[in-house]
Structure 1
Amino acid sequence: MPTLTFNIRPLKKNQNIGSINLRYSWKKGVSPFRKSTGLNVPLNSWDLKKERVKKNTEAYAYGKKFNAKIEKIIDFFDTLEKNYKSSGKEFTRAAISLDYHLFDKGVEKNTENEGFTASLAKYIDLLPTLINKSTKKPVSKRTIQSFKTTNKYVDRFQKSVNTTLKFSDINLDFHAAFMSYLQNEHKLALNTTGGYVKDIKTFCKYSSRNKDVHSDSLSSEFFIVRENTQAIYLDEKEIDLIYNHDFSENPRYGNVRDWMIIGLWTGLRASDWHKVEEMKNGFVTLKMQKTEGIVMIPIHWQIEEILKKRKMPKPVSDVEFNRIIKKVCYELGITEIVHGSRRSPETNRKEVGYFPKNLLISSHTCRRSFATNLYKADFPTLSIMKITGHKTESSFLKYIKVTPREHADKLKKHWDLKYKKI
């Protein structure tokens, strides 16, 4: 017979105040489910026998509200027991934990007939309260926005096929049709499509703890498509060319050039450039926007020279930077025909092919060039990763741009040094 009890435990910071906790036991031999109710009251205001806030104390002004919540918790567990008995599902700790979390946050639990997008919308509302297992931090705003965009495309897809998707519909047929829809109807790149499939797979895995999901959505065949990015980088000779050019007659170009040099020698994302307000003792230290990690980077001599002459460049938008830097590189003759990808000015979609190099350069080229040039200079990979924020060496090696010939040259140099041929 399931039992639900409430007790009070003194707070560490104030022994006169206690936290009201619940203990739910539903099966002999299984550790009970314990959880704080989030309610704190003076210890002398708690009735141990009735397991309620006393009515004849000064705490009753708010105790009435607290007792009402305790009653709601009791009703929640009563309803939970009835639902699981009627459905025949196994009563597990994971299921209880998830159901209570939804109840405590005021999010209605998904019903069996509820649509997939409606369920995903509730999950999105819940995301700010969850912790990312990898970072051990709250789910980032960037991740939440990704799920919102994913749900938007799933909703568009179901409208295009005139249906309301359920969890049972998220199978391999959906996987193939959804990817085709994104690539053919919306002209999305493979990596963008893969990101949305990843969100769907993550949500299905999360929901599988207390809901019947299609086994396909949890299988390896429900794959996340990826392709190697067709990006380019600037080598150190090209960087020197950009740094040494005189833009005194075109201050706007000169301002963008200065930001580019800062990006090329710090490896920072464009979103972090404007956080570089000052540099002390030869280093810049800041908190990165995307990963929220703290990074410390030494100041390159070219950046020092820019700061001595002109101080920090004037702020410039990412759009303005990307537009002008292509003209800067064109003026400097960085126009060789190379293989890469760019956003088509006609369709605003990614296209892969052969283009003049200046047309492929953007703010992110700075970061990729920073990592690639350091790697080619035999700087320790793990040290570069600490600055760029890459979590795994495999993802870092995919990120940098080193040709098979350049890898071979590194090996030849290693052998030549080892056997003293140079």
Structure 2
Amino acid sequence: MATIKFQLRSEANKAVPIYFYLSMGRGSFFRIRTGFSIHPSNWSKAKGFPKQNDEANKKVATNLKTLEKHLLECINDAQANGVEINNEFLEQKTNGCFNREEKTDNSLVTYQIQYIIDHSDTRKIQGKSKIGLAANTVKNYQTFKNIIEEFELVIKKPLRFIDLSPEVIEKFKNWLLKKQGYSVNHAGRSLAHLKSVSKDAEKLGVTVHPNAFKIETFNESNEDRNIVTLSFEELKLIEKAELTREALINARKWLLLGCELGQQGEDLMRIKHSDFRKIDDDLVVDVFQQKGKKHVTIPVTERAKKILDNGFPEKIALQNLNDYIKEAAKAAKLDEIIEGKKYDADTKRKVFGKYPKHELITSHVCRRSFATNFYKIIPTTVIMGITGHVKESTFLQYINKPKDRDENARLFLKSLNGGI
């Protein structure tokens, strides 16, 4: 059964957009702008509607109730007739409820972003022969569109490609970093997206400000990055920690197994017992990496076999895994105070500071710990084949290590002396 709730995504001291959240059950979920806005002080979180404290707010509340009824009727009709319900359908029905004209102005930055999203399945991937953007890439474009729409509220007008002067880009950058509190990497990616989208628009004949092609992107330097990993010794402490709750014991299995297989949290959670197979006397596991769309075969180490001997771990939601492995690491007394970024629920941003190490443990530590622990033990190209990295420079940046030009020579001689 479809349910609709209205929410705000910001508590800024200004009028902010009102969104509706549509749940279709079984993980089918949509978030769409209603086209209305309100100051957070006039919004009732408990009721999910504007406070009835003046005529303007009462009118917005009436419009939202009208929209809710209209959407549910459209959804019921669509389901009865086998029509696909997606973002485009919901945006169209939302605009239709209030007889709004659809935006078809290709000079708008948001129009071009939506164009890319709508044609993501046939879009050619730069530098590759295949077509079709990955799901995460499409999600990133949607996030970027939301960022541009929020910036448009600040400048109080739609952002057009012809507007991308040095002054506007500087204002956008400062807004990302200082007002929104985004990380250096996130702000840098947003500017990179803007530059890329501008190039796309020009190819389609849109007039673009020349400065858009000169946008400077950036990211954190290696010295500024705070990488959290678990050493073999720390993993032993977690393995031996006394845990009584089954949920924590199960999450610990995933953490230990993940640090031996070197996969992203999402890919790790998709591994099934049937994915393991034997090659001669060795055990391997086949994994399809969603981000790179690659099939990889990973050797199962003796430590991983020991974990599996106690039973394959039960499936668990990634957010629950992140919460539980923090508790497991705390039980292992990983209390060293280190620098890092921790998610703040109030600001909805990661805040840099000094925290006990167990508070900074997430599922991403699995892949990074694997890469760091086996670096200089296993040839870098072999590790990259497991983690999914394509470039050695990217891999070394991932584990925050400088390039060692002598390492291949050492590994070659070690292998040669070992009887190859």
TM over 0.5: yes
Q: Distance in 2 between matches of 1:313 and 1:183?
A: 41
Q: Distance in 2 between matches of 1:338 and 1:116?
A: 41
2:364 is equivalent to residue 364 of structure 1 = yes
Given that residues 252 and 328 in structure 2 are in contact (C-alpha distance below 8 angstroms), is that contact kept between their aligned partners in structure 1? yes
- What does residue range 239-250 of structure 1 map to in structure 2 within 5 Å? 239-247=235-243, 249-250=244-245
Q: Distance in 2 between matches of 1:319 and 1:109?
A: 37
Q: Distance in 2 between matches of 1:376 and 1:255?
A: 31
Amino acid of the structure 2 residue aligned with 1:241: L
**1:384 aligned residue:** 383
Equivalent residue pairs, number: 301
Given that residues 343 and 351 in structure 1 are in contact (C-alpha distance below 8 angstroms), is that contact kept between their aligned partners in structure 2? yes
Q: Distance in 2 between matches of 1:409 and 1:251?
A: 46
**2:158 aligned residue:** 164
Shift of 1:370: 0.3
**2:218 aligned residue:** 225
Aligned Cα root-mean-square deviation (Å) = 2.8
Amino acid of the structure 1 residue aligned with 2:253: D
Given that residues 286 and 296 in structure 1 are in contact (C-alpha distance below 8 angstroms), is that contact kept between their aligned partners in structure 2? yes
Q: Distance in 2 between matches of 1:277 and 1:327?
A: 25
Amino acid of the structure 1 residue aligned with 2:291: K
**1:420 aligned residue:** none
2:230 is equivalent to residue 234 of structure 1 = yes
**2:284 aligned residue:** 283
Given that residues 368 and 401 in structure 1 are in contact (C-alpha distance below 8 angstroms), is that contact kept between their aligned partners in structure 2? no
2:180 is equivalent to residue 211 of structure 1 = no
**2:254 aligned residue:** 259
2:126 is equivalent to residue 129 of structure 1 = no
Shift of 1:127: 2.6
3-state secondary structure, aligned to 1:280: strand
Shift of 1:345: 4.4
Q: Distance in 2 between matches of 1:408 and 1:146?
A: 35
**1:318 aligned residue:** 318
Cα 1:276–1:122 shift into 2, 3 Å:
closer
Q: Deviations over 1:376-399 (max 9, x none)?
A: 43x211111111111211111111
3-state secondary structure, aligned to 2:339: strand
Shift of 1:407: 7.7
Amino acid of the structure 1 residue aligned with 2:380: T
3-state secondary structure, aligned to 1:208: helix
Shift of 1:306: 2.1
Q: Distance in 1 between matches of 2:169 and 2:232?
A: 44
Unaligned runs of 5+ in 2: 1-101, 415-420
Shift of 1:121: 2.3
Q: Distance in 1 between matches of 2:269 and 2:183?
A: 29
**1:298 aligned residue:** 299
List, as ranges, runs of 4+ consecutive aligned residues in structure 1 with deviation greater than 6 Å.
Answer: 406-411
Q: Distance in 2 between matches of 1:306 and 1:364?
A: 19
Deviates further, 114-123 or 274-283: 114-123
Q: Deviations over 1:308-328 (max 9, x none)?
A: 222x11111121111121121
3-state secondary structure, aligned to 2:393: helix
Given that residues 110 and 119 in structure 1 are in contact (C-alpha distance below 8 angstroms), is that contact kept between their aligned partners in structure 2? no
Given that residues 339 and 354 in structure 1 are in contact (C-alpha distance below 8 angstroms), is that contact kept between their aligned partners in structure 2? yes
Q: Deviations over 1:178-207 (max 9, x none)?
A: 122122332211111122212111111112
Unaligned runs of 5+ in 1: 1-107, 418-422
Deviates further, 231-240 or 343-352: 343-352
Q: Distance in 2 between matches of 1:203 and 1:321?
A: 36
Deviates further, 253-262 or 180-189: 180-189
Q: Distance in 2 between matches of 1:305 and 1:386?
A: 24
Cα 1:331–1:410 shift into 2, 3 Å:
farther
Amino acid of the structure 1 residue aligned with 2:391: T
Which residue, out of 115, 118, 142, partners 1:148?
142
Shift of 1:274: 2.7
- What does residue range 178-217 of structure 1 map to in structure 2 within 5 Å? 178-209=172-203, 210-217=205-212
**Normalising by structure 1, what TM-score?**
0.65
- When Rg is computed on C-alpha atoms for both structures, the one with the higher figure is 1
Shift of 1:223: 1.4
Q: Distance in 1 between matches of 2:149 and 2:394?
A: 31
Cα 1:410–1:354 shift into 2, 3 Å:
farther
Q: Deviations over 1:326-376 (max 9, x none)?
A: 121111111111122221344331122222111111110111000001114
Q: Distance in 1 between matches of 2:103 and 2:174?
A: 32
Q: Distance in 1 between matches of 2:241 and 2:337?
A: 22
3-state secondary structure, aligned to 1:362: coil
Given that residues 389 and 395 in structure 2 are in contact (C-alpha distance below 8 angstroms), is that contact kept between their aligned partners in structure 1? yes
